[in-house]
Chain A
Amino acid sequence: THTYPLTHTRRTRYYINPYCITLSLCELRHSASLANKVFIQRDYSEGTTCKFQTKFPSELESRIERTLFEDTVKTLNNYYAEAEKIGGQSYLEGCLACATAYLIFLCMETRYEKVLKKIAKYIQEQNEKIYAPRGLLITDPIERGMRVIEISIYEDRGSSGSSSGSSSVSGSTAR
């Protein structure tokens, strides 16, 4: 089970606290210092829908393979496209909500929120499996107002940093 930082908003309950939630990331912060941050900006070529640029930033050249990075960004873009898709289901949801004077959202989650939860889970999984072992950390774009994907680059300070690999133990910061 994952323990999340104590917040009371329905939304933030599901999103990652980027400041260490898994064991490997914990050790990352202990052994490494924040060297740089890379910001992946939005791609507005298709309008106002949420899409991020897939251009590979030069600062990550030595840290991660291009294909892995592009995969991550493309998957995120697909998730956002799914959230903002205008089709049968969103119309149904909109009409139903209007008919109930939007009170239905007190009990039900909007489709957008459901997809955002999926995105949070995906980012956490990516961080654990791919980015943390390479000394990188992705911040969920929702924490930055959906403007950028912030990738923090950590430099190894010392010799420690034995990552516990793919252990799915999540260390909570609040004991």
Chain B
Amino acid sequence: MHLGVSESMRECEYSQISTRSSTPMETPYKKRTPKKRKWEIFPGRNKFYCDGRIMMAKQTGVFYLTLILILVTCGLFFSFDCPFLAQQLTPVIPVIGGVLFLFVLGTLLRTSFSDPGVLPRASPDEAADLERQIDVANGGTGYRPPPRTKEVVINGQTVKLKYCFTCKIFRPPRASHCSLCDNCVERFDHHCPWVGNCVGRRNYRFFYMFILSLSFLTIFIFAFVITHIILSSHQNGFLSALKNSPASVLEVVVCFFSVWSIVGLSGFHTYLISSNQTTNEDIKGSWSSKRGKDNYNPYSYGNIFTNCCAALCGPLPPSLIDRRGFVEADVPQLAPPTNGITIYGSTQSQQSHTSTADMKTLRVVVLASLLLILQLSSQMARGHVSTASPASTIKSSTIKSSTVSPSTIKSSTIKSSTVSHSTASTVKSSTLSASTLSTMTAASTVKSSTVKAVSATAS
């Protein structure tokens, strides 16, 4: 096949191999080491099981509680009440109960284990490109830029798209960042601890099916356990009926409390589906008429039936994060690859970067002093320079993969930025020193990175 173009092809192949590893010697070694799957380096706070097939949130305790409650209650129902009911009434009852139970379990597992619609984080090139566009839009001036939003008109309604600092993207409409899972999720509904996962575009229908079928199951069990006790007490008397099947009491109690909450939740979500809103939007009142006379939901199809069909029977989009794919070894990039995370002051730390933390520290210390001079000359005129705040704020920064030595910061006379989690008071003092932590960017883009560092704390 390659006879005609042998020379260039062979050359090409050879260069192909060499670009994929730093030295030719490494190539045979690399081929022997198993490639990592993408879920292993996933930046969000999710847990993966079965080699990436199953994806859940970090805290799964409540999910196990849900599972145990359902299994135990149904188990008791089938072992204690069903024999009596099958005899006295009809054997169809356990069959229906069984079908309902399996459906509940299936939809629960499907909701909990699937990807809710997580948006993968931006590649370094994308993020750099966005930064450039934002700078151009801002005119590159002002040390306190306005919050990053983009306005879009959707079906006549103006919608604000927010910039996500963790994922470095402009969130699509209806997407939201889940702070528990640390991911942006498409059509984010809410994070459900009972299910142990976020509920978003890809698993909303399973979630709805779960709560709907669970409400039917709960009502079913409640009704038939009561029937059992009543029938039994006609034969033997009330107290002996209770003594004969103590499990029934437990079931009644569990079901009684569940019915109110789950049926209520089902009703609420039925309303949401019929008006094509998410829980997020409903709670914020994004489309309520209270906000303005012209405020309406631009995503609604107009009638209830279409909204329901679209939500429940619409096409199921594929997962965007490709958990089980293999990590590409060498990705050609424009921006310098390694410090992409540290520059933007995000709170993530990837596994692959922690090993190079020491190298970065060294680089940071060296470059910080160089950048000082540039910074001071450009920033003096703006009067932003002030005494450095104590080193403790630097230490508390969450730029995990690069640590800056306090002495460097103190000597810099640049206001230290606190790229820390949540202290609102330190937002005011945040400016420039985050830029000293961005080791490899040129001076011109350092400015933009300080802006990022500032707004990173604000979010």
Contact = CB atoms under 8 A, between A and B. Distances in A.
A46 B310 contact: no
Interface string B8-19: 110111011101
A30 B2 CA distance: 17
B126 interface: yes
Interface in A32-84: 34, 36-37, 39, 42, 44-48, 83-84
B5 interface: yes
B209 A11 contact: no
A26 B12 contact: yes
B205 to A, nearest CB: 8
Interface in B345-394: none
Given A19-B328, A147-B126, A101 B103 contact: yes
Interface string B142-173: 00000000001111000101000000010011
Interface in B13-46: 13, 15-17, 19-20
A145 to B, nearest CB: 4
Interface residues of B, number: 65
B110 A9 contact: no
B315 A173 contact: no
Contacts of A147: 119, 122, 126, 169, 172
Contacts of A160: 8
A54 to B, nearest CB: 16
Interface residues of A, number: 58
B137 to A, nearest CB: 13
Interface in A104-129: 110-113, 116
A45 B154 contact: yes
B161 A85 contact: no
B129 interface: yes
Contact of B15 (A23, A30, A162): A30
A130 interface: no
**Taking each of B15, B110, B130, which has the highest tally of chain A beta carbons within 10 Å of its own beta carbon?**
B15
B294 interface: no
B97 interface: no
Interface string A1-28: 0000111110110000101100100110
B292 interface: no
Interface in A137-168: 142, 144-148, 150, 152, 160, 162, 164
22 contacts: A6-B326, A11-B319, A12-B325, A17-B328, A19-B332, A26-B13, A30-B15, A34-B333, A39-B125, A39-B129, A44-B152, A47-B173, A91-B313, A93-B315, A94-B315, A101-B102, A112-B317, A144-B123, A145-B120, A147-B122, A147-B169, A171-B12
Given A11-B318, A47-B154, A86-B306, 14 more contacts: A9-B325, A27-B8, A45-B153, A47-B298, A48-B172, A98-B312, A101-B102, A110-B318, A142-B320, A145-B120, A147-B122, A150-B125, A173-B13, A173-B20
Interface of A: 5-9, 11-12, 17, 19-20, 23, 26-27, 29-30, 34, 36-37, 39, 42, 44-48, 83-86, 90-91, 93-95, 97-98, 101-102, 110-113, 116, 142, 144-148, 150, 152, 160, 162, 164, 169, 171, 173, 175
Interface of B: 1-2, 5, 8-9, 11-13, 15-17, 19-20, 102-103, 106-107, 110, 119-120, 122-123, 125-126, 129-130, 152-155, 159, 161, 169, 172-174, 186-187, 206, 209, 298-299, 306, 309-310, 312-326, 328, 331-334
